[in-house]
Structures are given as C-alpha cells and as structure tokens.
Amino acid sequence: MKILFFGPNGSGKGTQGKIVKEKFGIPHIETGVIFRDNISRGTDLGKEAKGYIYRGELVPDSITIPMILNRLKEDDCKNGWLLDGFPRNLTQAQELDKALNQEGINLDIVIEMILDRQIAKNRIMGRRLCVNDNNHPNNIFIDAIKPDGDRCRVCSGELKTRTDDQDEEAIDQRHNIYYDNETGTTAGVNYYKDLSAKNNGVPRIIDLDGTPGVKEVTEELLGKLGK
Ligand code: AMP
C-alpha cells in the first residue's frame, strides 16, 4: 500500500500517520523527522537544512527531492510506504509522480486532513514532544492529550518544545506554504486530485476532518480505509 498523507502543521497528521503505519505494516516516512534527526546528529544534511527549518521555510527541492526518492528505494519500502510531509509543493508532487511512473509504481491512496488555519496554529503552539518517543501525543491546549503536569502523559518522560513551534512567524510561514494553492502544498494536493479524476479514482482520495479529537479522527480515518 502506497499512501500520501497531507495536512497542515498542527492537524495531527503525525499521530494519525502512526496508526496507519501500524495497520498496514508499512514504514512511516516523515520528512521533518528525517531532517530533525540529521540536525541532532550534526550531519552535513542537518547543517544545510537547519536554517531553513528554523525560519519555517522549505529546505530546497534540490536537497529534499533526491533524499526522499532515495529513501523510497530502501528495502523496507518494497511493500509500500506512508509519506508524510512530502510532497510539500507542486514541484515535489510532479517529481514524485514522474519518479513513480518511471519505476512502474502505482500510488494507492492520498489522504488530506482538513483543518482551519487558526485552530492548527493553536495546536502547534500547545504541542509538547516527549524525549522518549516523538509520537507520544501531548498538547497543553487539547484536553484529551494534556500532559501529566510537565511530564509526558504516556511514559512520564521529559517534554520539550520544537523551536519552530514557538515562533509565530515561522508557523505563519509554514502555513503560508501549506495553504498556497498556486505552487505550495495545496497545489500538490490538487495535482493528485486532478490525477485521480482523470484516472477513474486512482489514487483514491480520502478527505479527513481534523477538527474533532484524536480518537474521533482515528475512527473516521480507519472507517474510510476499511480497517
Ligand atoms: P514538519 O516536521 O513536517 O513540520 O517539518 C519541519 C520542517 O522541515 C519544515 O518546516 C521544513 O523546513 C522542512 N521540511 C519538511 N518537509 C519538507 C519538504 N517536503 N520539503 C522541504 N522542506 C521540508
């Protein structure tokens, strides 16, 4: 199963993505996680990407596109993958489509999480990251996943914030890119919607309302996926 997962920062895409990954037994490839991992390990890629990430800008396509296309060629991707955070603009969407065509790979599903921009912004600012596991959900503004005091609600681990999550300018910049339907992420989503319309519903497009709580969104998603 090959799946693209779109959604603005703060929509809960990472949390839902983890569930999809487990249901299908496929790797969850998150561009942002790959970059942050490289930054913390001090690699050349991390050094190059750092400035763009802190400003909320996209890391240049010349770095990001080959990085992801190479990742998809690794052994664990043979039976499918879930891409989260890529494509993030129209060029990346077109290049991914081209690369998949060249390899004779069909994309099965495109999920789009829909969330109001202001709600997404509040959720980002309330997000806390567990040092033990990035996917332990903690958000000081969401009742269902409020941390336990200043510790992780799942494992009592220490909680941190992402630098780019506390910088309003960087958040606005990330959302400007996401909601841009000319060349940004929304343009990339529309590219795949057009493809689906021309190709008898392949890939299948799944719209997902990200407004309710984590559990409700998961139920809707798994229902639509038939899982
Ligand atoms: P995220 O964890 O998805 O919020 O991504 C954090 C940051 O990583 C973004 O604000 C960008 O600077 C960078 N990034 C993630 N995905 C991409 C991508 N597909 N293309 C370029 N930059 C990206």
In a domain, 123, yes or no: no
Domains held by the chain: number: 1
Domain boundaries, position 217: 2-116+182-225
For residue 58, report the distance from its CA to the centre of ligand 1, in Å: 6
Residues 84 and 87: their CA atoms lie apart, in Å, by 8
In a domain, 59, yes or no: yes
In a domain, 88, yes or no: yes
For residue 200, report the distance from its CA to the centre of ligand 1, in Å: 31
Which atom of ligand 1 is nearest to 173's Cα? 10
Q: What is the pLDDT of residue 77?
A: 96
- For 114-172, the pLDDT digits (tens) are 999 999 999 999 999 999 998 888 999 888 889 999 999 999 999 999 888 889 999 99
Residue 107, helix vs strand vs coil: coil
When the pLDDT of each residue in the chain is averaged and rounded to a whole number, the result is: 94
- Testing ligand 1's pocket by substitution, the residue of 70, 84, 88, 121 carrying the most ligand atoms inside 8 A of its CB is 88
206: number of Cβ within 10 Å = 16
| 71 and 77 Cβ atoms separated by less than 8 Å | yes
- pTM higher than the cut 0.85: yes
Q: In 95-146, which ranges are E strands?
A: 109-114, 129-130
Give, as one character, the DSSP assignment of residue 169.
H
In a domain, 47, yes or no: yes
**155, containing H or E segment:** none
In a domain, 157, yes or no: no
- Is residue 191 predicted with pLDDT exceeding 90? yes
In a domain, 188, yes or no: yes
For residue 213, report the distance from its CA to the centre of ligand 1, in Å: 24
Residue 83, helix vs strand vs coil: strand
- For 76-128, the pLDDT digits (tens) are 999 999 999 999 999 999 999 999 999 999 999 999 999 999 999 999 999 99
CATH code for the domain in which residue 77 is found: 3.40.50.300
In a domain, 103, yes or no: yes
In a domain, 221, yes or no: yes
